[in-house]
């Protein structure tokens, strides 16, 4: 019998006692007691309960039994109470013993009951799952779960004895094999964890004996369970109360517990077992240790491979959001003082510290996030050793397996590809996993050769997306000879699209038997095991050199010498074939090459070299070298030099052509880049010899000067994705002009990042796409790279090397990223509708406001046919014109690369071709707006305009036919109320609708926000009251069901009336009768109304959960830039428990489609308010969605005060309330303050001196009042002493502030976070206060001067470019603090030419500024020409330096001085006819941006404009600003 394992002084684990034997007697002897209670779940009891009771009855002792439901929900406080009440009812006293028979849930619950019942009674554990045996049953940690997290309430209470009987595992296998297998694997995860933190040899057993363990080999299983238990017992004995060392047992649990706590939610119905969640946690926490530079990538690779070998998950489920995961982690009991604690490994079998370490929360977030965003931070330099070559690694593994003798491989790449290859080779190797053994801490892999004696695998070879492995092993599999045997090679979805036809056809023609199992020409394939004959194979190698290498690798094991004859003169990517031949030579096979397209391979077999060293991956090295090139840094890559066998080692010579300095030794390569933006294009370049590097070259070409044409890379279309097409699409998103060639890509270099933009990059699970755009992101701000983990394929430590070796700044980028396919990133707005509906008039004004080109399709047609449309129609007829119209629409949509406003003819929907074109445009992400007007007005207009060609039918008849066609083809609709309404209000509303779409702008949902429910039956009655009703509100609820007529026609009309007077976002609500409203129509009618709300562009649309799932999904799928409020209302006065309410909130999330969830119940009990708040708190612990919880009626009014988001309220001017118990918004805010839910005051300050005349207080206080933010104030803090400012900032009521001279630089070091602009400009002028996860206050320092300058100049530049064309030059005058902000802004301008020119009287200061930002110094202003923009940041007394000749060209002139009435410069510029921007304009624009940052609400621009104009007076030159903002 196995010896017992002691745990501390009073507990032990026994392996020699079984249920079939004397278990009951042993319990009674070990724990004498008056009475016993067996606690088990229903599944365990059904299997073993009666047998245990029968055995126990023979002891003569009293046994009570409590059977509980299965599952994690049983581990709950209420269940604990239920069991304790039963024990009291059974009169069990302190002389009692609890027996836990089950898994971890039962063990934890029973242990906690025993710890607290009668102040503590003994208990014993009988774990029935492998996970419980190796984890929960040992250590004495007992607990129950709460909504805030797992195991937050519990105690340390050791079981007296734990009985481990492996027979329990067999019982579950018979009853529920699938579940039992998952439970078993979950237990293995804990054993892997134990080995990884404490005992490397235990980890190696798990790593090397996978087949034996999975087959339940009792000898191996007993060994690893006992060793795992002994380790845990040792740790627990050393640290019984988790004072430090014991925390290491929580490796994998920081992330794992967060995942586990969220997986029981409605959106993730499968759930995950504890061990499965820990497996995910181990992978991510290994990545975290690697990201901190503690754990070598080889160790991370081994851990991942070991976990995957047992089919355990390694990724966070997609249904879980990173915000929720981080929130869960921060609430874990192991995190104290607001810091995140995590166990870290520094090698397998050893922890970095003998306790949990403090880890930066943002780093954890970045590691766990699916996406990442590089932050440009200047030149990047360092020394990097990239991983081993993927190409060499994928060749050496099959070579070593096929060879004679052992081979020790050094420097092997630890990646997804090599992992898949090794897994497949294990299946082909007679020794299985034993064929591979890691030595020297995972640095060396010992491979036992088979001497060519490969076996038929017991299962298919699954190779994921490793095309290289699939092609190589397809060749290798042909040499296996076994009667009746076969090999199936398969992979993931993308693998099943990757071609293998030429290779298979050649082998089949040669005599092999190979069958396609799904699609012709692609895996999966089945290869019959009849061996490979000698002879001649003829094959095409036009698509992939891997076909050639696959046959070459197999050929030495053929049954005779083999000749491979290629159909082409030479193979594509020939250097890779040469690499294969060279490596075969090192394994004892001499390949002869009689000609350039033939290979003779002897049937000699392979002889393994004792040691083989894999050189570093030259393809991977292109990325750090390219980072040096793109940022102007200096990077050295070790182990990749002139002596490399890899073609990509020559990539550095391309960088030299682009303007880089290159130094290359036989074993290293160093690249030093020119200043950022100074790379030169490559012209036309053939990259056939280094095809994998073409994407790296492409991103560099995007920011280089001049054109680059990359050719010779046609084979890249059949890699992990169509790489050429993807590069064209993703670079296009960034504003790069590029096009696909037959064998490559053509790129118009931007000469830097000016004119380019950030974008969300879809990587298509392609490691090279991700790394290439990682390079681009080091220079181009705003790049979000999805699927960041796909770099694991070849360069697992890529992101870590960027951070640790090159000092790049990276951040997680994962909140609410929209990841639909390749949508247009600069979409068109296409206007359709009847002739006379206002498309041209409204479209022109829309183009002016959006700064976009206006395209009138009628004008395009006239230019094409050389005559008026009416004349063409008379001569050729309408059908001919419709053909022309379709062709022109297609051409315009193809040729216009930047977003335009396109007005189409009224009959554009008459032909199928045009309709399909419009639908395709909508599908691609463009906006198609149906412009609508009363048909009677249209008829009147058309009959009075003889210049328009007459329709062959009355307009009303055409309208009847076209109306459904317009709806089919459009994404939105816009109603013009009347001809008189085609004025400012209509223009502003159309602009607002289109602007929200073009910018993908979602309405904010801020805390303590107010929604006013409008109850007017006719919005005409409300028009004059809306401005007053809006005051202090955040959203207007448009109750469609309360209209006197809620038909589609009237709802559209009423919405248009409301929109013309409202400025707040609109919530479109159609409340049904069953939910307390007045809509009594069908589901089909409800869907039509809700979709109308979406088409009208309402910022919010309410969707009731009472309707079918299909209907709710139909709304969610089309929500676009609207937010969905998923709601449930119950007027029955039923009493709900907090748990029931929480379930309602969870159900309302609509599989992730909801943006806000709302539960409203009518109540007569004030206690329901507490239940509602409890439910909201529980829900918020699980989800980041805003939750609205309201109790309707008099007794529930307090719920409206306690509610956080979009509190539904009424107003005295409304005809009635929309729901019982609604309060006036002003009363809600007052009560919140009285209850301490809102601060009585929130103070903002302007810091600096002199500031007595500043207009900022007037603007911000007016904005606060308009938002209803009583108690918010903005005051002056006039001081030049930073300590005085800091004292004010430290006040509890401080909400934020503005900073001016002389404190802009002094306050920099006192901020917790600095934005990129503040860092680059070197000054803070805006302070925002945020709260950390622990409630601590975080000061964010920003510089918003540049925002104002950029907005003002870019708007005017866009308008000028539309009117005049061309790209002007820009001059900056000055070199002080404001000049730095201006330079930062000007560098981001689109539509300018050349570098920014800078002039300053002190030339050295101008030179320093120019050198830092890549600008050009001007010494003589009189010599400057073609200026389109001048920005002056110098004091008024220096304005004379700007000559009249520059002003006479009428440039955009920004004078940053803040003088009432203007400066001499602004007066001269105005007199010369310049497009003038003055200092107060900047102050206003900056203030609106600050207001949005501080309040979380859209800036009240018109109110703030009135305030600044009033402050500066009538002579300030701001009247035009006031007029413009009042129109809006």
Catalytic residues: 242, 257, 790, 1129, 1158
Q: Are 1270 and 1522 in contact (CB under 8 A)?
A: no
Q: Are 802 and 757 in contact (CB under 8 A)?
A: no
Alpha-carbon torsion, ordered 1433, 1435, 1440, 1442, to 10 deg? 0
CB-based contacts of 979-988 (< 8 A; 24+ apart in sequence): 979/937, 979/941, 981/1060, 982/838, 982/841, 982/842, 984/1527, 985/1060, 985/1061, 986/842, 986/1060, 987/842, 987/845, 987/846, 987/849, 988/1527, 988/1528
Map 845-880 to HEC letters: HHHHHHCCEEEEHHHHHHHHHCCCHHHHHHHHCHHH
Distance CA 1369, CA 78 (A): 73
d(CA 428, CA 447): 13
Residue 41, H or E segment: strand 35-41
Sign of the dihedral through C-alpha 1309, 1315, 1320, 1326? negative
DSSP state letter for 607 = B
DSSP string, 1337-1350: EEEEEE--HHHHHH
Q: Is 705 exposed, middle or buried (CB count within 10 Å of its CB: 0-12, 13-18, 19+)?
A: middle
- Residues in contact with 297: Cβ distance below 8 Å, sequence separation at least 6, in sequence order: 290, 387, 414, 796, 797
Element (H, E) at 1159: strand 1156-1162
User: Is the separation of the CB atoms in 157 and 339 below 8 Å?
Assistant: no
Distance CA 314, CA 335 (A): 23
Distance CA 1382, CA 1375 (A): 10
Task: For residue 465, give Cα distances in angstroms to 471, 549, 764, 766, 819.
Answer: 11, 18, 11, 9, 21
Residue 1033 burial class via C-beta count within 10 angstroms: exposed 0-12, middle 13-18, buried 19 and up: buried
| CA 1297 from centroid of its chain's CA atoms | 31
Say which residues have a Cβ less than 8 Å from residue 1233's Cβ, sequence separation at least 6.
Answer: 1239, 1240, 1270, 1271
Instruction: Return d(Cα 1427, Cα 1429) in angstroms, integer.
Output: 6
Determine how β-strand 853-856 pairs with β-strand 900-903: parallel
What are 217's two structure tokens? 């080999």
How many other CB atoms are found less than 10 A from the CB of residue 498?
Answer: 20
Please choose, from the candidates 509, 474, 472, the residue with its C-alpha nearest in 3D space to the C-alpha of residue 489.
474
How many of the other CB atoms lie within 10 Å of CB of 27? 27
Rounded CA separation 564/540 (Å): 10
Exposed (0-12), middle (13-18) or buried (19+): which is 1203, by Cβ within 10 Å? buried
CA nearest to 1430, candidates 1412, 1448, 1404, 1408? 1448
CA distance linking residue 181 with residue 131, whole number of Å? 12
The Cα–Cα gap between 1093 and 775 comes to 43
CA–CA distances in Å: residue 831 to residues 894, 994, 1077 = 17, 11, 35
Contact in structure between 375 and 1316 (CB atoms under 8 Å): yes
CB atoms within 10 A of CB 711: 17
């Amino acid at each position: 019998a196995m010896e017992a394992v002691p745990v501390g002084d009073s507990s032990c684990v026994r392996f020699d006692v079984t249920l079939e034997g004397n278990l009951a007697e042993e319990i009674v002897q070990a724990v004498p007691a008056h009475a016993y209670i067996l606690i088990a779940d229903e599944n365990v009891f059904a299997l073993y309960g009666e047998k245990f009771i029968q055995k126990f009855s023979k002891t003569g002792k009293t046994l009570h039994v409590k059977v509980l439901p299965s599952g994690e929900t049983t581990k709950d406080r209420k269940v604990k109470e239920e069991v304790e009440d039963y024990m009291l009812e059974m009169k069990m006293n302190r002389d009692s013993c609890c027996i836990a028979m089950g898994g971890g849930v039962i063990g934890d619950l029973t242990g906690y009951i025993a710890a607290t019942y009668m102040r503590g009674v003994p208990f014993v554990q009988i774990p029935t799952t492998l996970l419980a045996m190796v984890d929960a049953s040992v250590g004495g940690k007992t607990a129950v779960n709460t909504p805030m997290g797992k195991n937050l309430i519990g105690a340390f209470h050791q079981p007296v004895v734990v009985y481990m009987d492996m027979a329990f595992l067999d019982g579950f296998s018979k009853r529920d094999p699938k579940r039992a297998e998952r439970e078993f694997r979950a237990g293995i995860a804990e054993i892997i964890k134990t080995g990884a933190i404490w005992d490397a040899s235990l980890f190696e057993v798990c790593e090397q004996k996978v087949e034996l363990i999975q087959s339940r080999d009792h000898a191996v299983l007993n060994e690893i369970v006992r060793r795992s238990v002994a380790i845990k017992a040792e740790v627990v004995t050393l640290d019984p109360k988790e004072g430090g060392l014991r925390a290491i047992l929580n490796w994998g649990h920081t992330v794992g517990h967060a995942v586990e706590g969220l997986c029981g939610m409605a959106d993730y119905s499968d759930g995950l077992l504890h061990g499965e969640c820990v497996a995910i946690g181990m992978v991510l926490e290994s990545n975290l240790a690697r990201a901190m530079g503690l754990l070598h990538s080889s160790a991370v690779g081994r851990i991942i491979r070991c976990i995957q070998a047992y089919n355990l998950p390694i990724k966070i489920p997609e249904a879980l959001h990173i915000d929720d995961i981080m929130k869960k982690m921060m609430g874990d009991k192991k995190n104290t003082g607001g810091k995140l604690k995590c166990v870290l490994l520094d090698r397998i079998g050893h922890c970095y510290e003998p306790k949990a370490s403090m880890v930066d929360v943002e780093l954890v977030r970045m590691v766990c996030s699916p996406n990442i965003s590089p932050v440009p931070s200047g030149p990047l330099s360092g020394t990097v050793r990239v991983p081993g070559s993927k190409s060499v690694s994928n060749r050496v593994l099959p070579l070593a397996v096929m060879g004679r003798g052992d081979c020790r491989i050094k420097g092997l790449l630890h990646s997804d590809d090599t992992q898949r290859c090794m897994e497949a080779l294990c299946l082909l190797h007679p020794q299985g996993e034993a064929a591979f053994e890691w030595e020297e801490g995972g640095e060396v892999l010992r491979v036992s050769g088979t001497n060519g004696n490969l076996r038929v695998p017991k299962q298919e070879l699954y190779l994921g997306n490793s095309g290289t492995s699939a092609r190589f092993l397809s060749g290798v599999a042909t040499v296996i000879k076994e009667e009746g045997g076969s090999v199936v090679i398969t992979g993931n979805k993308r693998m099943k699209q990757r071609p293998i036809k030429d290779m298979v056809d050649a082998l089949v023609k040669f005599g092999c038997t190979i069958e396609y199992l799904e699609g012709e020409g692609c895996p999966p394939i089945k290869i019959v095991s009849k061996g490979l004959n000698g002879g001649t194979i003829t094959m095409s190698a036009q698509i992939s050199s891997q076909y050639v290498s696959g046959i070459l690798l197999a050929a030495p094991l053929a049954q005779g010498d083999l000749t491979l004859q290629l159909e082409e003169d030479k193979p594509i990517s020939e250097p890779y074939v040469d690499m294969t031949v060279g490596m075969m030579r090192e394994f004892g096979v001499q390949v002869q090459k009689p000609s350039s397209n033939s290979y003779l391979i002897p049937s000699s077999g392979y002889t393994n070299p004792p040691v083989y060293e894999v050189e570093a991956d030259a393809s991977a090295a292109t990325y750090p070298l390219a980072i040096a090139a793109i940022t102007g840094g200096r990077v050295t890559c070790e182990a990749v030099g002139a002596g490399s066998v890899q073609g990509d080692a020559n990539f550095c010579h391309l960088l030299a052509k682009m303007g880089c300095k290159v130094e290359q030794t036989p074993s290293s390569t160093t690249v030093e880049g020119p200043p950022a933006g100074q790379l030169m294009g490559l012209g036309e370049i053939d990259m056939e010899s280094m095809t994998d590097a073409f994407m790296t070259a492409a991103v560099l070409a995007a920011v280089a000067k001049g054109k680059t044409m990359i050719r010779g890379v046609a084979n890249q279309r059949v890699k992990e994705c169509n790489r050429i097409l993807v590069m064209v699409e993703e670079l296009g998103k960034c504003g790069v002009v590029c096009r696909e060639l037959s064998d490559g890509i053509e790129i118009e270099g931007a000469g830097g990042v000016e004119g380019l933009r950030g974008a969300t990059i879809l990587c298509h699970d392609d490691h090279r796409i991700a790394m290439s755009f990682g390079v681009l992101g080091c220079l181009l701000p705003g790049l979000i790279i999805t699927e960041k983990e796909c770099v694991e394929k070849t360069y697992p430590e890529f992101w870590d090397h960027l951070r640790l070796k090159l000092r790049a700044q990276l951040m997680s980028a994962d909140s609410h990223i929209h990841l639909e396919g390749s949508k247009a990133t600069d979409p068109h707005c296409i206007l359709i509708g009847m002739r006379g509906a206002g498309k041209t008039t409204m479209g022109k004004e829309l183009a002016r406001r959006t700064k976009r080109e206006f395209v009138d399709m009628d004008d395009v047609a006239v230019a094409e046919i050389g005559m008026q449309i009416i004349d063409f129609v008379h001569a050729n007829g309408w059908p001919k014109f419709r053909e022309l119209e379709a062709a022109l629409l297609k051409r315009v949509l193809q040729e216009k690369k930047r977003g335009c406003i396109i007005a189409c003819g009224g009959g554009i929907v008459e032909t199928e071709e045009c309709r399909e074109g419009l639908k395709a445009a909508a599908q691609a992400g463009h906006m198609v707006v149906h412009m609508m007007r009363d048909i009677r007005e249209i008829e009147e207009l058309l009959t009075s305009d003889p210049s328009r060609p007459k329709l062959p039918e009355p307009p009303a008849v055409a309208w009847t036919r076209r109306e459904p066609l317009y709806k089919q083809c459009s994404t939105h609709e816009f109603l013009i109320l009347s001809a008189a309404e085609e004025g400012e209000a209509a223009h502003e509303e159309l602009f607002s609708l289109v602007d929200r779409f073009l910018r993908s702008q979602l309405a904010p949902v801020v805390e303590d926000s107010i929604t006013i429910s409008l109850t007017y039956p006719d919005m005409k009655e409300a028009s004059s009251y809306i401005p007053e009703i809006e005051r202090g509100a955040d959203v207007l609820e448009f109750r469609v069901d309360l209209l006197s007529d809620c038909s589609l026609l009237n709802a559209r009309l009423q919405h248009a009336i409301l929109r013309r007077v409202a400025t707040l976002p609109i919530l479109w609500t159609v409340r049904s009768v069953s939910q307390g409203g007045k809509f009594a129509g069908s589901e089909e009618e409800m869907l039509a109304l809700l979709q109308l709300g979406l088409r009208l562009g309402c910022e919010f649309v309410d969707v009731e959960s009472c309707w079918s799932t299909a209907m709710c999904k139909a709304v969610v799928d089309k929500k676009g830039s609207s937010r969905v409020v998923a709601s449930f209302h119950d007027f029955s006065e039923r009493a709900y428990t907090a748990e029931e309410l929480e379930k309602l909130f969870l159900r309302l999330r609509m599989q992730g489609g909801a943006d806000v969830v709302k539960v409203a119940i009518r109540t007569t009990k004030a206690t329901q308010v507490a239940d509602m708040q409890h439910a909201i708190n529980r829900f918020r612990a699980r989800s980041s969605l805003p939750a609205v919880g309201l109790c309707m009626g008099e007794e529930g009014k307090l719920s409206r005060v306690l509610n956080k988001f979009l509190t539904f309220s009424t107003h005295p001017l409304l005809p009635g309330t929309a729901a019982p118990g609604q309060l006036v918004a002003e009363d809600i805010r007052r009560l919140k303050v009285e209850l301490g839910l809102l601060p009585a005051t929130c103070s903002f300050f302007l810091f600096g001196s002199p500031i007595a005349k500043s207009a900022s207080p007037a603007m911000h206080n007016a904005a606060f009042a308009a938002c209803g933010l009583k108690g918010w104030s903005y005051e002056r803090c006039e001081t030049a002493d930073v300590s005085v400012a800091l004292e004010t900032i430290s006040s509890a009521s401080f909400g934020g502030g503005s900073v001016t001279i002389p404190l802009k630089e002094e306050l920099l070091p006192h901020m917790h976070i600095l934005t990129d602009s503040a860092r680059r400009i070197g000054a803070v002028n805006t302070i925002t206060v945020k709260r950390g996860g622990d409630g601590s206050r975080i000061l964010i320092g920003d510089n918003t001067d540049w925002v104002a300058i950029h907005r003002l100049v870019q708007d005017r530049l866009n308008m000028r470019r539309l009117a005049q064309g061309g790209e002007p030059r820009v001059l900056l005058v000055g070199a002080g603090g404001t000049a730095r902000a201006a330079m930062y802004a000007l560098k981001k301008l689109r539509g300018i030419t050349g570098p920014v020119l800078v002039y300053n009287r002190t030339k050295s200061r101008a030179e320093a500024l120019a050198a830092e930002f890549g600008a050009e110094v001007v010494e003589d202003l009189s010599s400057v020409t073609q200026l389109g923009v001048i920005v002056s940041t110098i004091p008024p007394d220096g304005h004379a330096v700007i000559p009249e000749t520059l002003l006479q060209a009428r440039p955009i002139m920004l004078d940053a001085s803040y003088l009432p009435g203007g400066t001499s410069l602004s007066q001269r510029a105005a007199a010369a006819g310049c497009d003038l921007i003055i200092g107060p304009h900047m102050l206003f624009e900056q203030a609106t941006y600050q207001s949005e940052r501080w309040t979380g609400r859209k800036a009240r621009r018109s109110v703030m404009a009135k305030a600044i104009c009033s402050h500066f007076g009538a002579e300030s030159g701001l009247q035009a600003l006031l007029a413009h903002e009042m129109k809006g």
